[in-house]
Amino acid sequence: MSAPSVSGLLLPAAKPLVDHRVYTIALRKMPEFLDVFGRLAMPVLMDTLGHPLGFWTSFVGPQNQFVHAWGYDSLTDYERRCHARDTHPDFAAYLAASGPLITAQETRLIRAASMPSLATLAHERTAP
């Protein structure tokens, strides 16, 4: 069963807790970082965290930033899956390869906010 969406937007009720991460990548190193992330991190993350909510790179504003988000059912779910990631035998290779490419990291746990008007808008857009 897929999560409810409005024009491709994942509705907050799908995952009440989101790990929102922003990595600042060294100047002119984004292609290398994306390669390392794809080859070394993604297999581990898919195995331990499941499917991500999405990936983005900065376009306007602070440059050289890579953003990704993962949804969780609870803080306990987050802690359990992060522990699995951190103790995965292949994760150390990603950390070693990406370390020199990352100049800063921000990690936020954000909670879903109730927005009843979003459901109303979705209904209005699908009504005949």
- Residue 24 maps to a domain: yes
Residue 126 falls inside a structural domain: no
Torsion over CA: 23, 65, 110, 54 (sign): negative
* Domain coverage including residue 28: 14-111
Query: What sign does the dihedral 70-71-74-77 (CA atoms) show?
Result: negative
**Among 8, 33, 22, 2, CA closest to 110:** 22
Alpha helix stretches (DSSP H) within the chain: 30-36, 42-48, 75-87, 91-98, 116-126
Cα–Cα distance between 124 and 100 in angstroms, integer? 49
Does residue 92 lie in a domain region? yes
Cβ-contact 107, 66 below 8 angstroms: no
Q: Is residue 72 part of a domain?
A: yes
| pTM for the full predicted model | 0.80
Q: Is residue 22 part of a domain?
A: yes
Q: In total, how many domains does the chain have?
A: 1
Q: Tell whether 2 is covered by a domain.
A: no
Q: Whose CA is closest to 73, among 128, 14, 9, 2?
A: 14
CATH number assigned to the domain comprising residue 72 = 3.30.70.100
The closest alpha carbon to 104, from 55, 67, 59, 52, belongs to 67
What confidence tens digit (pLDDT) does each residue in 73-107 have? Answer: 999 999 999 999 999 999 999 999 999 999 999 99
For each of the chain's 128 residues, which pLDDT tens digit applies?
A: 444 444 444 444 578 999 999 999 999 999 999 999 999 999 999 999 999 999 999 999 999 999 999 999 999 999 999 999 999 999 999 999 999 999 999 999 999 888 778 777 766 667 66
Residue 125 counted as domain residue: no
- Is the residue at 95 inside a domain? yes
Nearest Cα to 109, choosing from 23, 15, 18, 22? 18
